[in-house]
Amino acid sequence: MGRLFEWRCRDCGAGEGFLCGGGFSDFNPADVVEQAEQGDLGSAMKVLLGNGVPDGWTVQRENSYFECPSCGEVVLGISLKIDDGGNGWLEYHAIPEECPSCGESLRVGECVPSMSEEELSARCEGFVSAGCPKCGGKNVSASYGSWD
């Protein structure tokens, strides 16, 4: 099931939307294998999935969100959930190289944790309470939803 967390300012139009979970996801997506093969997902995933998804394995891609430790911007990454055929799910987060807003490296020590759904929801509610970070307006609303 997928979940949506979103905030919008009705004064200036600023806002963010976060799509979480596995709703509408494909299993064993071909582009994940291509990214792994090219090394875009890191060396461990290149070894694990670079030659394709092994028989009996299942790979599911989901969005992951990371907060830039320098500017506080939320950056989109991906999470791979991998089942090797019966030993449970391995979760791997592919962190973007750098923050698109400030250019700060997000891979220094690869210690930037992904944000939880609770943190994303709290971020949205925080802007509803405090006002828009762009214009300072108080006309900010949050929306939530889910789907299969």
Q: Can you give the residue range of the structural domain that contains 126?
A: 2-147
Residue 34 and residue 88: Cα distance in Å, rounded? 24
Note the pLDDT of residue 100. 93
pTM of this prediction? 0.82
**CA-wise closest residue to 64 among 107, 28, 21:** 21
Question: At a CB cut-off of 8 Å and minimum separation 6, what does 68 contact?
Answer: 74, 75, 99, 101, 102, 104, 106, 112
- Please, which pLDDT band fits residue 109 given cuts at 50, 70 and 90? low
Residue 57 and residue 28: Cα distance in Å, rounded? 8
Residue 36 and residue 9: Cα distance in Å, rounded? 38
Average pLDDT over residues 97-112: 80
For residue 65, CA distances in Å to 18, 20, 80, 87, 108 come to 8, 9, 13, 26, 17
Number of domains in the chain: 1
Longest CA–CA span in the chain (Å) reads 54
What residues are paired with 16 via a beta bridge? 7
